[in-house]
Chains A and B, each alone.
Chain A
Amino acid sequence: MAYLLIVDDDEDFAGATAMALRHAGHEVKIEVSPSRAVETMGERRPDLVILDVMFPEDISGGFELARTIQREDEKLGGIPILMLTAVNQRFPLEFGPGDIGSDFLPVADFLEKPVDLDVLCDQVARLLERVNSTENNDQA
C-alpha cells in the first residue's frame, strides 16, 4: 500500500480516480491547487503524485509544481510524478515521451485524459515498483 497525492482542480475526476486507487489498496489524498499540494507534501511526503497540467489560476501550474518538486532537495525531491493532461497529443503543448524526465517535463510518466482507470492503476503500480527497486538498489 502506498500513500498517493492527487493534485487536480476537477474534483469529480479526482474523486473517481481516488476511488479506483483506493480499491487498488492505496491511501489517497486529493488537493485541488498546486499551492495547497506543496503544503500537504510538506506535512507528509507522498510516495507518488498524480498531477494535472492546467489549473484555473495558472495555465501551466502542473509543470511549475513538477519543477518545484524537482528543485527541492530534502523534503520533496525525488517524489515520482505521474502527469495527467486533457491537452496533450492532438494539441500543441509540444511535449511527448521523449521529454519525460527532462528539465522541461520532470515527471516519471504521463497519461492523457480521459484515462482508463485500469491503465492508471497499472501505471501507478509500475511506477511504485520502479521507485522501490531503485531505493533497494541504493541501499544495497
Chain B
Amino acid sequence: MQGSAYDVSRSAGERTVYELPLAGSGTGAPEAAKPGAAPYLSEGLLVRSALWFCSLRWIVVVILVAFGFLDLFPTLLPRIGLRAQRQWPFTAAAVLAVANLGFLWHARHLARSEDAHGTKANLWAQIVVDLAVLTVVVHFMGSLETYVGFAYLFHIVLSCIFFPRSWSLAVTGIACSLYVACVALEETGVLDIAGIYADPTLRARMGQVPGATLLNVTWAAVTWVVVWYVTSHLSAMVRQRDADLARTNRRLTEAQKEKMQHMLRTTHELKAPFAAIDANIQTLLKGYCGPLPSEAHGVVVRLGTRCRRLATQIQEMLQLANLQSAREEPLDTVEADLAEVLRWCVAQAQPIADDRGVALAADLQSARAVAVKDHLRMLFTNLLSNAVHFSHRGGRVGVQCSPGADGGAVVVVEDQGIGIPPNKIPRIFDAYYRTEEGVRHCKESTGLGLAIVRRVAEVHRIRVRVESAPGRGTKFTLVFPSAETPVTQAEEREDVADGLSADRGR
C-alpha cells in the first residue's frame, strides 16, 4: 500500500479512520496546467548550457587575441582605416579567459553534484561578466560609431531562453544601463572617446548633429527592450508547452505502468487457479491419492485437457487485448537479433514438438529488427505452436532466419502438416476461426494464435505471406522492415488495411 496516497488517521479511541480519496482529487489527481509553471529549463539542460556558453566564450577569447595581434602589423590597420588598438584586446581576453576557467570548473562541479541553486548562479555570473567585458569592448570599438553594442542582444536573448521573464528583464536592464553609462561617460569627458576608426573626427562629427547621440542610444535601448519582450514571451510559451508535454508524458508513463501491473495481476489471477486445478488433477492421475477406476481416470483426463485448453485460451485472449491497446500507445521497441529471439522460442516449443513427435529444425542467421521483444516472442511462439500442432507425427517443422535484401529480415516457418484449403486461407488470421480439418487434427487449438500473429504484424509493419497446400503443409514468410526504419503510430494505423489484407488476396 502506498501510504502517501491514503488519508488515514487515528482518533482518540485508537480506531483507524480512513477516507477513500475520490478520483480527480488529492495526490492521485492529475496535475493541473498552471501558466508559468515552468519558469526554468530542467537542471540538466541548464548545466549543459552553462558548459556550452563556456565553450563559446573561448571563441570570443580567440577573436579578441587575434584582434590584438593585428597591432603587430603597424601598417595594416591604417591601410583599412583603423587605428592601433594598444593592449585592451589582450586585457579583455585575459579577463574573459580567467573568468571562463572559473565558470568551467564550477559548471563541471555542478554537472556532478546537480546543485540547482549553483547552476543559476553560474549562469548569472557568466552573463554579468560578459556584459561588463562587452561594455569595455563597446567603448574601445566605438559605442556609437559601430554596431558592436548590438552584441548585448545575444545575452538578452539567451537570458530569455534560460531565465524567467523578470530575470531576463533584469539582464536587459543591466545591458541598457551599461551601454547608456558608457556613452554618457564618453560624452561627459570622463572617459576618452576611443573607437577603432583612424579618423578622429568621426565621433566629433556625429556629436555635431543635435540629439543624434540621444536618438541613437534611445533607439538601441528600445530595440533591446522590444527584443526582450518578444523573445521572453515566445520562450515562456515554449516552456509552458514543454512543461505540458512533460506532464502528459508522466501521466502516460504512469498509465502504462499501471496497465502493465494490471495485466500481470489479471494474468496471474486467471492462470493461478488453472495451475492449482491442473496440479490437483495430476495428483489423481499419477496415483498419489490411490488408484482410480478406469472410467473415473478417463473423466479426470478430460478435465485436465479442458482445463489446460481454457488456461491457454484465456492467456491468448489477454495477449490479444494487450496487443490491441498497443496499437494506440507508444511502443517500447528495441533493436533485437531475431535469431536470438527465435532460439528462445524454439526452445519453448521443443517439449510440445517432442510430445507430438515432430522434429524442429532451425537454421538461424543473425538478422536485426526494431520491435517490442515480447511481441516478437508472441509472434514466433504462436507460429511455431501452430506449425507443430498441425503437423503429422513424424513430420518436420523448419525455421529459418536471414537478413533481408533491403536491410530488413526474413523469417520462414514451414511445416509438412495438414495444410489449409485455398478458400480458407484468408480467414485463418481471424480470432477464433478454425478450419474443419484443423479441428479434426488438433482439438487443442484455440483459434487465437494466428490472430495474435496478425496483431503483432500490424503493429510492427511485418509483411506476412502464407503458402499452403492441403495435405502438403504450410509456409509462413515474415518480412521485417529495415531496423533503420522507425515504426510510427500513424504508419501502423494506415497499414492495418494493407499488410495482411494484401496477403489474403493471394
Contact = CB atoms under 8 A, between A and B. Distances in A.
A54 B263 CA distance: 13
Contact of B265 (A15, A59, A89): A59
Given A16-B276, A19-B288, A114 B311 contact: yes
Contacts of B282: 16, 20, 116-117
Contacts of A89: 348, 377, 381
Interface in B276-319: 276-280, 282-283, 286, 288-289, 308, 311, 315, 318-319
A140 interface: no
B272 A13 contact: yes
A16 B311 contact: no
Contacts of A23: 288
Contacts of B273: 10
A91 B275 CA distance: 16
Nearest to B271: A86
A20 B286 contact: yes
A75 interface: no
Interface in B240-294: 260-261, 263-265, 267-268, 271-280, 282-283, 286, 288-289
Contacts of A116: 282
Nearest to B375: A92
Nearest to A120: B279
A118 interface: yes
A13 B260 contact: no
A54 B311 contact: no
B276 A90 contact: no
A96 interface: yes
Contacts of A54: 264-265, 268
The interface size bin for chain B is 20 to 34
Contact of A114 (B279, B283, B286, B348): B279
Nearest to A96: B344
B275 A10 contact: yes
A93 B264 contact: yes
Contact of A17 (B274, B279, B311): B279
A91 B348 contact: no
A12 interface: yes
B90 to A, nearest CB: 58
A117 to B, nearest CB: 5
Contacts of B180: none
A126 interface: no
A100 interface: no
A113 interface: yes
Contacts, number: 80
Contact of A10 (B272, B377, B378): B272
A121 B273 CA distance: 21
A118 B261 CA distance: 32
B374 interface: yes
A117 B264 contact: no
A73 to B, nearest CB: 31
Contact of A16 (B265, B267, B280): B280
Interface string A7-42: 000101101110110010000000000000000000
A12 B348 contact: no
B380 to A, nearest CB: 11
A10 B274 CA distance: 11
A59 B279 contact: no
A92 B308 CA distance: 21
A86 B272 contact: yes
Contacts of A12: 276-277, 279-280
A8 to B, nearest CB: 9
Given A90-B319, A91-B267, A117 B283 contact: yes
* B263, B271, B289, most chain A CB atoms within 10 A: B271
Contacts of B348: 89
A115 B275 contact: yes
Interface string A110-135: 00011111100000000000000000
Nearest to B315: A90
A113 B272 contact: yes
Interface string A30-64: 00000000000000000000000010000100000
A87 B279 contact: no
B356 to A, nearest CB: 15
A47 B237 CA distance: 64
Contacts of A15: 280
B267 A59 contact: no
B283 A16 contact: yes
Interface in B299-350: 308, 311, 315, 318-319, 344, 348
Nearest to B348: A89
A90 B288 contact: no
Contacts of B381: 89-90
A74 B79 CA distance: 88
A124 to B, nearest CB: 14
A70 B344 CA distance: 27
Contacts of A86: 267-268, 271-272, 275
Contacts of A118: 286
Given A59-B264, A92-B260, A93-B264, A114 B377 contact: no
Given A16-B276, A86-B267, A86-B271, 19 more contacts: A10-B276, A12-B279, A16-B283, A59-B264, A86-B275, A87-B264, A87-B271, A89-B348, A89-B377, A90-B315, A90-B381, A91-B318, A92-B374, A93-B264, A113-B271, A114-B275, A115-B275, A115-B279, A117-B279
27 contacts: A10-B273, A12-B277, A13-B275, A13-B279, A16-B279, A20-B279, A20-B286, A54-B265, A59-B264, A86-B268, A86-B271, A87-B264, A87-B267, A89-B348, A90-B319, A90-B378, A91-B263, A91-B267, A91-B318, A91-B319, A113-B271, A113-B272, A113-B275, A114-B271, A114-B308, A115-B275, A117-B286
Closest 7 CB pairs of A and B: A16-B279, A113-B275, A114-B278, A12-B276, A13-B276, A86-B271, A114-B275
